[in-house]
Structure 1
């Protein structure tokens, strides 16, 4: 069993306590952090902002940029170098397509199985650790009308995931989940799902934020709020 900190949403400031928790799980004084920004098409400003934040937290940061078509040796070297792998937000569907093209999907699952790095990320970078997620990927390719859709994940956590659950339009996750024979996890901004030492639990950086487990039984929705651990 590996280590995961899947952050639903928020900015780098509001989620700093959650990021510090992921750093703590690495059990290194100055851990190596690999940022994977595929979902934002490796946006330079995102990479710069992330690097500045994690440098402040005592980490060394490198970036894996798949859009620039790195060689397999480069990909393998960066993944092996990392104590923490952080996946940024953006277009989940595009990200998963690129990961499959370069074999990063299989490599990340192997890292989880061998527990060689903490796996973390936000929004699309949280969806990826689950079976599937409630995604706004259509909004990146359509200028006007678009709908929320399912995006496949790596399937490490056997649930459907919804980030940004407190934001407009995300309530459609409840109805869409009826299509899936699977438990749903809906998380508001500044909350995170954690897996560590064989345990799965929840943390948050905003004490007002909530998260819910949702399941359908005989087409009737069962929804309950989760408890959070103090950090």
Structure 2
């Protein structure tokens, strides 16, 4: 009887683009299905910013993995080669930037469909900020300038996502209001420094590189107001 791959997705509140200690990236690599995983960085949300790409390559070339980059603004792969490339990855890492633009470009190139196929085959999908927002049904974003609700996403994770919950003014109150009013479904709010793993849609691990950083589940209470529950996170440290 064939073994059905586990579908896994990680939301990151940090990593190579914001942190110097590398703890969240090291943790991420331990979740890969192979000991020397292929890791594809997808910097669409930043417009394939060259400096962002180089920062990824510097961080992951020093680790026991095979890093690669998928550029869509200067795409070189045809449809079949693109599918082959993505389905061969162990980890697909979506970078931060503009969530709305990311979704639009992915859909135009069919990357949304291919990532759904990779997810079903066991590829670990992950990302930071916009790269975390995109996987859920909806998200809290500044893609249009002011903070607002985006009831649109790939829907691989039920509910909504809010990044930068503790570090950007207005995030916490605005996201809670969005959930309370029904503008967004209940979901997950990540403080900077947190990493979260979902397996087959269920939270299976939460970690943090900062003792004060939290993962919060934001839901509706019985009175129609937003309720916030902090989820215990395992502390990452230099000793592992």
Question: What is the Cα deviation at residue 151 of structure 1?
Answer: 5.5
Q: TM-score under structure 1 normalisation?
A: 0.88
Instruction: Output the CA distance in 1 between the equivalents of 2:22 and 2:102.
Output: 24
Describe how 1:49-88 pairs up with structure 2 within 5 A. Answer: 49-70=55-76, 71-88=78-95
Q: In structure 2, what is the equivalent of residue 95 of structure 1?
A: 102
**Secondary structure of 1:155's match?**
coil
SS of the equivalent of 1:223 reads strand
Q: Which stretch of the first structure deviates more once superposed, 29-38 or 66-75? A: 66-75
- Aligned ranges 1:122-201 → 2 under 5 Å: 122-139=128-145, 146-150=146-150, 152-166=152-166, 167-171=168-172, 172-177=174-179, 178-180=181-183, 182-196=185-199, 199-200=202-203, 201=205
Q: Tell me the residue number matched to 2:225.
A: 220
Q: Give the equivalent residue in structure 2 for 1:229.
A: 234
Task: Supply the distance in 1 between the matched residues of 2:228 and 2:45 (Cα, whole angstroms).
Answer: 30
Question: SS state of the match for residue 93, structure 2?
Answer: strand
Higher relative contact order (CA 8 A, sep 6+): 1
Report if the CA contact (8 A) 2:14-2:128 is conserved: yes
1:175 shift after superposition: 0.6
TM score, norm. by length of structure 2? 0.85
Tell which deviates more after alignment, 205-214 or 188-197.
188-197
Given candidates 44, 52, 55, the residue that maps to 1:46 is 52
Which structure dedicates a bigger proportion of its chain to helix? Answer: 1
Distance change (3 Å), C-alpha of 1:6 and 1:183 = same
Distance 1:181 1:129, change over 3 A: closer
Give the gaps of 5 or more residues in structure 2: 1-5
Corresponding residue of 2:116:
109
- How many residues align? The count is 224
Indicate the larger mover: 30-39 or 20-29: 20-29
Distance in 2 between residues matched to 1:90 and 1:181, nearest whole Å: 20
**1:21-62 deviation digits (Å, cap 9, x = unpaired):** 221111423221111000001111100100110111222211
Q: Which runs of 4+ in 1 moved over 4 A?
A: none
Given that residues 147 and 171 in structure 2 are in contact (C-alpha distance below 8 angstroms), is that contact kept between their aligned partners in structure 1? no
Q: Quick one: distance in 2 between partners of 1:85 and 1:134? A: 22
Deviation at 1:123, TM superposition (A): 0.7
Q: State the distance in 1 between where 2:12 and 2:159 align.
A: 15
The CA RMSD over aligned residues, in Å, is 2.0
Query: Which deviates the most, 163-172 or 62-71?
Result: 62-71
Supply the distance in 2 between the matched residues of 1:43 and 1:58 (Cα, whole angstroms). Answer: 24
